[in-house]
Amino acid sequence: MDVLVPQTLDEALAMKANRPEAIALAGGTDLMVDMNFGRLRPTAIVDVSRLSELSAIRQENGQVFLGAGVTYATIVREMPAFKPLVQASRSVGSPQIRNRGTVGGNLGTGSPAGDALPVLAAYDADIVLRSQGRGERSLPWQTFLTGPKKTAIAPDELIIGARWRKLRGPGSFSKIGTRNAMVIAVASLCLVVDEEQRRVNVALGSVGPTIIRAAQAEEHLAAALTTAGSWDDRSAPLGDEWSDEFAELVAAAAQPLDDVRGTAAYRRLGCRVLARRALGWALNERRLPSWL
């Protein structure tokens, strides 16, 4: 196996152009597991973990850019304003995994259980890809994630990062697993409120072939907040019947299967519980000015 160690992003893209079969290695926390179990025997690896171009975190003109090489530990440390992303990052693996594992690797693996992915979906992020020959392109997250562990990345491309419009409003990420740490999600949920556009975005992980947005639940909740006059007066109460219906619609959006980690019925129940909790947190937070 050849191990290619580029010093710059341009060099890395040139290597991918010459050897499209070469697999990118970032933190290695997914890739090395696959290699150790003999599921993958690449003929070449391109080590992208040292590329400074991939470790950028930028905010400009209301847009946020998160480089593919940014680790979970860095997100927890440096992005406190992005609470759902921090909560998801803090829930990944152990300190060792969070020190090595990257958002680009989560995207590259494309598992429906990837914890950063429901957050990027709720943010409506675009995934930025680049190749030497065709330059840069951005794909909406749902075009990038094409199925279970399947993505739209071309063999000669690298993931450069994710970009989204900065939302003003509360939000959270939470997940259910068999224990509190070092656990792959049995179900996960990210809810973000977009006060400017008067929308609520809800994304589910681990309950379908890929990340799912609960579109009907989102519309229902936005309408409920309108009816309650809550977009203008954030302290206006929302009736329990709206919250119950919201949680039901979130559960109905899931497409779960039975597997070793949980049954479909348990996952659907999990979605209902996570939705109820996330809504409660968001409504409480909306009454406080902390996210303003």
Please give the structure tokens belonging to residue 63: 């847009």
Of these, 6, 14, 35, 93, which contacts ligand FAD (CB under 6 A)? 93
210 binds ligand FAD (CB under 6 A): no
Place of tokens 């907040």: 225
CB 249 to ligand FAD: min, Å: 25
**Residue 214 CB coordination number (10 Å):** 26
146 binds ligand FAD (CB under 6 A): no
Place of tokens 């992915």: 117
- Residues paired with residue 205 on neighbouring β-strands, in sequence order: 188
Q: Which of 276, 270, 272, 268 is nearest to 238 (CA)?
A: 276
**Residue 36 CB coordination number (10 Å):** 9
Instruction: Compute the distance between CA of residue 122 and CA of residue 4 in angstroms, rounded to an integer.
Output: 35
CA 230 to the chain's CA centroid: 28
Of these, 13, 15, 22, 30, which contacts ligand FAD (CB under 6 A)? 30
Of these, 4, 15, 29, 75, which contacts ligand FAD (CB under 6 A)? 29
All residues at 6 or more sequence positions from 56 whose CB lies less than 8 Å from its CB, including other chains: 65, 67, 70, 161
Instruction: Compute the distance between CA of residue 97 and CA of residue 79 in angstroms, rounded to an integer.
Output: 18
3-state SS assignment for residue 148: coil
Are 166 and 129 contacting, i.e. CB atoms less than 8 angstroms apart?
A: no
Amino acid at 90: R
Angle at 128 between CA 125 and CA 129, to 5 degrees: 145
Site for ligand FAD in 152-171 (CB under 6 A): 158-159
256 binds ligand FAD (CB under 6 A): no
273 binds ligand FAD (CB under 6 A): no
Site for ligand FAD in 72-91 (CB under 6 A): 91
By beta-carbon proximity to ligand FAD, the closer residue of 44 and 184 is 184
CB 169 to ligand FAD: min, Å: 24
Q: Which stretch binds ligand FAD (CB under 6 A): 2-10, 79-87, 99-107, 234-242?
A: 99-107
> Could you give the string, one character per residue 168-207, with x where binding to ligand FAD holds by CB under 6 A and - elsewhere?
--------------x-x-----------------------
282 binds ligand FAD (CB under 6 A): no
- Residues paired with residue 213 on neighbouring β-strands, in sequence order: 203
67 binds ligand FAD (CB under 6 A): no
By beta-carbon proximity to ligand FAD, the closer residue of 25 and 202 is 25
CB 65 to ligand FAD: min, Å: 14
CB 214 to ligand FAD: min, Å: 20
Chain residues in the site for ligand FAD (CB under 6 A): 23-31, 33, 48, 54, 68, 91-93, 97, 100-102, 104-106, 108-109, 114-115, 158-159, 182, 184
